[in-house]
Amino acid sequence: MNRILKLQDQLKSVPFGNSIFSGILARFAPYFTTIKPKVVELRPNYMKASMKKRKAVHNHLKTVHAIAMCNLCEFTGGILMEASIPQHRRWIPVAMTVNYVKKAMTDLTATCDLSHVDWETCDEVICNVSVRDTSDVEVMNAAITMKVSDKPKK
């Protein structure tokens, strides 16, 4: 079992286990902690994560600022890649294209589905992440290009 999914499984029965799990994952890249993301659902090839609309992530319009939403997309796509990729392979982000569709005025949820990926043959994966508000309206979407390769032999 993948190390991230194993950790998630170990923390399921612990009080506040999902909050602890989300906090550990956010520390993979320290800038993720600025948005305080929460894992809503994680399984191989699918992830849903959320973030609260709070003052620390506001822009001058008092909506969620663009880079906070980008962080949520990177968190969702990156953790999903790590949880889904076979152990003999590795990944690195090489590009990200974003579309800001609407002002983000509520808490947000990001989803990414990689069920179409053939992990054994791919050399690139595009993580299409959709960010939605509490009314299920898309406020942003991102396409994160991940380069995939075999890990070097030791």
Instruction: Please report the domains of the chain, with CATH numbers, ordered by start residue.
Output: 3-150 (3.10.129.10)
Secondary structure tally for the chain: helices H, strands E:
3, 6
Residues 6+ apart with CB under 8 A from 135: 106
Q: Can you give the pLDDT at residue 31?
A: 85
In tens, the pLDDT along 68-116 reads 999 999 999 999 999 999 999 999 999 999 999 999 999 999 999 999 9
H-assigned helices in the chain:
3-11, 17-26, 66-84
| Residue 70: alpha-carbon gap to chain centroid | 10
pLDDT, mean of residues 7-17: 90
Instruction: Phi first, then psi: give them for residue 142, nearest 5 degrees.
Output: -140, 145
The verdict on pTM exceeding 0.85 is yes
- Position 35 scores a pLDDT of 95
**What whole-number percentage of the chain has pLDDT above 90?**
84
Of 26, 29, 24, nearest in space to 10 by CA: 24
Could you read off the pLDDT of 37-65 as tens digits, one per residue?
Answer: 999 999 999 999 999 999 999 999 999 99
Mean pLDDT confidence for 7-33? 89
